[in-house]
Amino acid sequence: MRVVNRRISSASFVAVLLLLALLPGAGIGIAATVVAPPLTDSLPAQGEAPTPQTLEALPPNGVWVPYAVDSAGAFQERQQQQLVPPVRQACPAGTSSYPAPNDSYSCVSVYSDNANMGHPVGMRRGGPDSFGLQKAMSKHGLDEETLAYVVVNNAFGILQESTGRYLYGLRYEVGGVGIVAVEVYEQRQPSTVFNDGHALGVVTAFCPGYQGACPPGVNESIP
């Protein structure tokens, strides 16, 4: 049998693949296969903040963008997006006012990710050097509204394999370059010290690279 050696064009090759995909029982499922974008396409690059403690004020004309978005398309359009205002939700019944010595575990508020429609993230009172809102406020200079914006404007929390906690982040970019970020970490298991049957919630929140308070202007710039 004579073998004819011909060069197949790219267009012809694609046409053949598409024809095979439509055949019953075909082994190549092109028409039915959807390839999800890599996770890195949904996460703004981290680690581009300036040297810690050198940022005296946020530069103008920046935009806060989420670490986690719902699609690659949203990632491409994040420079034009507007932050969704958070909706404060009630705490679970009976969790808002625990007596001492467990008063630090009292729930203050709840906010849901994915534009107020997703997973609920609880915020407990905590303490200045332990966890919760008081730690975020007194040690890192972040207020409740800022934390709420971070949670609500991420489509989901990013699981941290090393700790089992979930990361929510907003990053301030100017011209696509990261300037500073705010990260919120949530624990979805109850506390091992005081177990009330509910997730511990927000453990801490801070600006990566800054040991103490976040740079001036962070709270004021969100939204």
Q: Where are the domains of the chain?
A: 1-34, 39-221
201-206 and 177-187: which strand pairing? antiparallel
- Residues 150-155: what's their mean pLDDT? 95
**Residue 88 in tokens:** 């404060």
76-81: long-range contacts, CB 8 A cutoff, minimum separation 24: 78/44, 79/173, 79/176
The predicted-structure confidence for 55-82, as pLDDT tens digits, reads as follows 777 888 888 999 886 554 544 555 566 8
Q: What pLDDT score does 204 carry?
A: 96
CB-side neighbour CA atoms (13 Å) of 201: 32
Q: Which residue has the tokens 């997973």?
A: 119
Q: Are 59 and 172 in contact (CB under 8 A)?
A: no
Q: pLDDT, tens digit, for every residue of 77-87?
A: 555 668 999 99
